[in-house]
Amino acid sequence: MEIKFLNKITLQEFIESDQFNRMPVIPISKHRAISHINNPANTPEDILLFLAFINNEMVGYLGVLADDILLGANNKMHCGWMSCIWVSEQHRGKKIAQQLLAASFKTWDNKLIATEFTLPAKVLYEKTNHFAEMKILNGVRLYLRSDLKYILNKKGGWLQKLKPFWTIADSIINFVGDIRFRNIPALPNNFQVNIGNEISEEASAFINKQNQYNLFQRNADALQWMLQYPWIIRPHEGDDQTSRYHFTATDKSFDFIPVEVKDIEGNICAFILFAKRSNNLTLPYCFFTCNADIVVSIIQHYMKVLAINTFTVYHASIAEKLKQQPMQVLWKKEVKRSYFISKELFQQLTLKELHLQDGDGDCAFT
């Protein structure tokens, strides 16, 4: 088996090649590749994509997202996030995933982190004995509107065959249930709330100041990169990438929504970055100096204005308040997110508190 290594230069050449256009299975979508290439955390030496070939057939791939981790006071180290791993069904049992993982560890000098992994990936990571569990985030998922056609359709079998029925059921439940949203709570008094398409200079300074205690200090430039280069886009007619790619490349909608909040004196006191995928909302980044109740009330306002089906958050103070507050939701569910870190990096962590944002790694993109 041969493993090919692609940095940002060779990755650009690869997605523009005839080989990429002819491949029945592609290891990355073009827009996701362009996002990796423009990642401000990249270095020229970073290997972003590992491709496994047997007899000129691609049989597996592994992706890494470059980042920097704060190990201690004024001590940053370059690292990579395990972003995706896939092996062809026809070549399972040949330890291809293990070889890809070994290659990534060697290339990244044992400085890798992982989260939002599937159960098979978790088993693979644990078997290597290279990872330690860094942190578990406890969050909450709010179900505001019925989405049976999506939830039950995923279960397959006879439930999937009843999708037309679930669609009708959703319409009826939401027609009645949305009555409770007619009186949408007003935004907090004495605060100015603005939605923009980019991050202002004032917000940039605020983010950079509030970011100093986060483990992954993504500044305003990094957040602007995310806004400009998403991994999920609306489908385009004639684009066959979705059918050739085993991860999500398109959806009916995906938008980042940056929100700036100013106090009565006109100073920024909160910056909120929502990610809205179809009718599901997440909170990749949230920085604030005002009372957390103000931020929660703004979040609740937009959950209803945007007609959200689900809202998921792991931010500790926000999640805790939403768990405790009585809300007009169909259901609340506690959720957890686990983070694995290579033992070499873990041993160098000297911070007493490991502060993470929901969007760290590649979580904001999906």
**Coil, strand or helix: which one is 303?**
helix
The domain over range 2-129 is classified in CATH as 3.40.630.30: yes
| Mean pLDDT to the nearest integer, 198-218 | 93
30-37 and 8-15 are packed helices; what angle lies between their axes, rounded to 10 degrees? 160
Q: How many CB atoms lie within 10 A of CB 84?
A: 20
- Tell me, yes or no, if the pTM score tops 0.85: yes
In one letter, which amino acid is 356?
Answer: L
Sheet of 112-115: strand order equals 2-6, 49-54, 57-72, 75-87, 112-115, 331-342, 131-143, 310-313, 280-288, 268-277, 254-262, 192-195
CB 181 within 8 A of CB 340: no
**pLDDT at position 182 over 80:** no
User: Residue 340: which residues within 8 A CB-CB, separation 6 or more?
Assistant: 113, 114, 115, 117, 122, 125, 131, 132, 133, 134
CB 303 within 8 A of CB 274: no
Q: Give me the pLDDT at residue 154, please.
A: 67
With cut-offs at 50, 70 and 90, classify the pLDDT of residue 153: low
**Coil, strand or helix: which one is 315?**
coil
pLDDT by residue (tens digit) across 283-293? 999 999 999 99
Rounded CA separation 324/310 (Å): 17
Calculated CA dihedral for residues 332, 84, 283, 243, nearest 10 degrees: -80
The alpha carbons of the chain give a radius of gyration, in whole angstroms, of: 22
Q: Measuring CA to CA, which residue among 308, 305, 300 is closest to residue 325? A: 300
pLDDT by residue (tens digit) across 65-123? 999 998 877 788 999 999 999 999 999 999 999 999 999 999 999 999 999 999 999 99
pLDDT by residue (tens digit) across 305-348? 898 999 999 999 999 999 988 777 889 999 999 999 999 999 99
Which DSSP category does 69 fall into? E
| Mean pLDDT to the nearest integer, 343-355 | 88
- Residue 53 burial (CB < 10 Å; 0-12/13-18/19+)? middle
CB 287 within 8 A of CB 211: yes
**pLDDT at position 161 over 70:** no
Rounded CA separation 321/297 (Å): 10
With cut-offs at 50, 70 and 90, classify the pLDDT of residue 237: confident
Of the CA atoms within 13 Å of residue 25, those in its CB half-sphere come to: 17
- Residue 143 is encoded by which pair of tokens? 């179900």
Pairing state of beta strands 192-195 and 254-262?
Answer: antiparallel
Annotated domain spans of the chain: 2-129, 139-338
**pLDDT at position 251 over 70:** yes
Of the CA atoms within 13 Å of residue 42, those in its CB half-sphere come to: 22
Using alpha carbons, list the distances in angstroms from residue 234 to 131, 251, 255, 282. 36, 5, 10, 18
Q: Do domains 2-129 and 139-338 have the same CATH topology?
A: yes
Percent of the chain clearing pLDDT 70 (strictly above): 95
The domain over range 139-338 is classified in CATH as 3.40.630.30: yes
| Mean pLDDT to the nearest integer, 340-358 | 91
